[in-house]
Amino acid sequence: MRILSLNTGLLSFLFGEVSWHSEMGDLKVRAQRIASKLLAMPHPPDVICLQELFDGRSRRTIIKTLKPIYPYYFADENVGAFLVGANSGLAIFSKYPIKNKILKAYEFASGDSFLSRKSIMGVRLELNN
């Protein structure tokens, strides 16, 4: 099984959106580029784990773009801490059916980790029945 882990850096405006002060471009455009590059890999992984997928529009763009090859996914789409922060920014995409999911927020956090609900995410996949 091939697994890829990638930090997308798709931060929302609350956490220093990169596109505001760089040449990296609009978040939705960057999300489309990231997803397209993942699909164009010569030996695509079976599972893709993404971090810092905080921006909702970017998350929806990546989910929609990856769906033809990675129809199974688990993305943290919860509301952020205190309705002003962000969710964990984690997502897992798989070619195989996801049987079980876990998302557990860290019990103790401070600073921006407190506002972004830092968490651990995992899945159990169904392989060959």
**DSSP character string of 76-118:** --PPPGGGTS-----EEEESS-EEEEEEEE-SS--THHHHTT-
Q: What values do phi and psi take at 92, rounded to 5?
A: -125, 130
Q: Does residue 2 carry a pLDDT above 60?
A: yes
What's the mean pLDDT in 38-43?
A: 95
Tell me the pLDDT tens digit for each residue of 101-127.
Answer: 998 887 776 666 666 677 889 999 999
What's the mean pLDDT in 9-14?
A: 69
pLDDT band at 21 (very low <50, low <70, confident <90, very high): very low
Contact 70, 48 (CB under 8 A): yes
User: What pLDDT was estimated at residue 88?
Assistant: 82
Tokens in use for 50?
């993404």
CB under 8 Å to 129, separation ≥6 — which residues? none
pTM: predicted TM-score of the whole model, two decimal places: 0.83
Measure the CA dihedral 38/40/45/47, to 10°: 40
Counting residues of the chain whose pLDDT is more than 90, the rounded percentage is 50
Tokens in use for 121?
């995410």
Residue bearing the bigger pLDDT, 75 or 109: 75
Amino acid at residue number 83: L
